[in-house]
């Protein structure tokens, strides 16, 4: 049995471009701290510096719309206006609509109305605080994606009850990476790599004509990885119990909650990596599949032709969905 743990997604890059009679396109790379994570963008071409700057501006815009803690953001206004329908941007509406779709498909394993749980537990902010069962039960009563009201025609979103709240943390980073890639393309960039804290988006293959190699890595060995996914254009996103967590009395408490129980998800999975048509989809599905576990999660994945997943269980077993495109497990 394999004894590896997937903790992050990293990109395995060749040391240098293959020699060619055609000069290699100019590379430009920049990193910024956005959405509580380090985001790096590498683009190739004469307009790469301007394109990367524009891509980061787009990501900052999405962050400003989606933050539940920034006064005046779309999400903040919805969360602080119970019983009212609030006009939101098209970007926010698109994120919420996609989230609701994934919630329906997963029977609530993914649910953006988990904000009250996020606040209660405060993973990463309250030390090793563990709320009581009665506290969790009281908050879970306010978690239900079906209660979120949406008026698509007027771009309105509302929460019917006080105590409810939206958290787009499980989808906004992927959506922002998608938007960054779109902005790069609008600036004429054909080859690029976006690494948004493990949300990987690649464009157009590498400038030398070869495919990008996205490595699913074992952080216990920073120089090792358990699988490599080759792709021309696409995305890989991983969700795991390692990103924000603490250990108390020998038990790991992490930031991925089962919205139905109010507890950190514990379906025997420690990480899930997903490829999907968009990074926003991969972001949401990786969270949902983590909550669902291997058996239920794999049933869902196999019913969705464009979604592929790699599960890692608590005992180190690696389970790969059928027809996962161009993936090679490492020995």
Going residue by residue through the chain (331 aa), what tens digit of pLDDT does each one get? Answer: 333 333 344 444 433 333 344 566 789 999 999 999 999 999 999 999 999 999 999 999 999 999 999 999 999 999 999 999 999 999 999 999 999 999 999 999 999 999 999 999 999 999 999 999 999 999 999 999 999 999 999 999 999 999 999 999 999 999 999 999 999 999 999 999 999 988 999 999 999 999 999 998 663 565 768 789 999 999 999 998 888 889 999 998 999 999 999 999 988 999 999 999 999 999 999 999 999 999 999 999 999 999 999 998 888 888 999 999 999 987 6
pLDDT (0 to 100) of residue 282:
98
Whether 52 maps to a domain, the answer reads no
- Domain range for 72: 65-158
The number of distinct structural domains making up the chain is 1
Tell me the C-alpha distance between 73 and 55, whole Å: 20
Whether 147 maps to a domain, the answer reads yes
pLDDT (0 to 100) of residue 331:
65
CATH number at residue 123: 1.10.3980.10
Q: Which tokens belong to 121?
A: 């537990």
Whether 149 maps to a domain, the answer reads yes
Whether 131 maps to a domain, the answer reads yes
pLDDT (0 to 100) of residue 16:
37
pLDDT (0 to 100) of residue 242:
81
Q: Are 147 and 164 in contact (CB under 8 A)?
A: yes
Q: Which tokens belong to 57?
A: 């501006």
pLDDT (0 to 100) of residue 107:
96
pLDDT (0 to 100) of residue 292:
98
pLDDT (0 to 100) of residue 327:
92
pLDDT (0 to 100) of residue 26:
87
Whether 249 maps to a domain, the answer reads no
Whether 136 maps to a domain, the answer reads yes
Report the predicted TM-score, pTM, of the whole model to 2 decimal places.
0.92
Whether 5 maps to a domain, the answer reads no
pLDDT (0 to 100) of residue 172:
98
Element (H, E) at 215: strand 212-217
Element (H, E) at 214: strand 212-217
What pairing do the DSSP bridges indicate for beta strands 8-12 and 27-34? unpaired
Whether 203 maps to a domain, the answer reads no
């Amino acid at each position: 049995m394999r004894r590896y743990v997937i903790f992050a997604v990293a990109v395995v890059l060749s040391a240098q471009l293959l020699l060619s009679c055609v000069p290699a396109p100019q590379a430009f790379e920049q990193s910024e701290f956005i959405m509580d994570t380090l985001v790096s963008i590498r683009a190739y071409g004469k307009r790469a510096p301007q394109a990367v700057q524009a891509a980061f501006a787009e990501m900052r815009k999405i962050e400003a719309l989606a933050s539940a803690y920034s006064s005046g953001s779309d999400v903040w206004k919805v969360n602080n206006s119970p019983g009212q329908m609030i006009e939101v941007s098209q970007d926010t509406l698109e994120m919420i609509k996609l989230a609701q779709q994934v919630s329906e498909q997963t029977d609530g394993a993914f649910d953006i109305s988990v904000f009250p749980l996020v606040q209660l537990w405060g993973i990463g902010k309250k030390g090793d605080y563990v709320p009581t069962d009665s506290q969790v039960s009281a908050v879970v009563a306010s978690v239900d994606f079906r209660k979120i009201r949406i008026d698509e025609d007027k771009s309105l979103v509302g929460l019917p009850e006080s105590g409810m709240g939206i958290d787009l943390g499980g989808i906004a980073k992927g959506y922002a990476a998608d938007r960054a890639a779109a902005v790069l393309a609008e600036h004429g960039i054909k080859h690029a790599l976006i690494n948004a804290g493990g949300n990987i988006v690649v464009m157009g293959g590498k400038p030398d004509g070869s495919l990008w190699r996205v490595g699913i890595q074992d952080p216990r060995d920073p120089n090792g990885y358990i699988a490599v996914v080759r792709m021309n254009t696409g995305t890989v996103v991983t969700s795991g119990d390692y990103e924000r967590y603490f250990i108390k009395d020998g038990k790991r408490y992490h930031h991925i909650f089962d919205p139905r129980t109010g507890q950190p998800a514990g379906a025997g999975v420690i990480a899930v990596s997903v490829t999907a048509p968009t990074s926003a989809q991969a972001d949401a599905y990786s969270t949902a599949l983590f909550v669902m576990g291997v058996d239920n999660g794999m049933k869902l994945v196999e019913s969705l032709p464009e979604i592929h997943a790699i599960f890692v269980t608590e005992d180190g077993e690696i389970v790969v969905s059928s027809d996962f495109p161009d993936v090679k497990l490492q020995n």
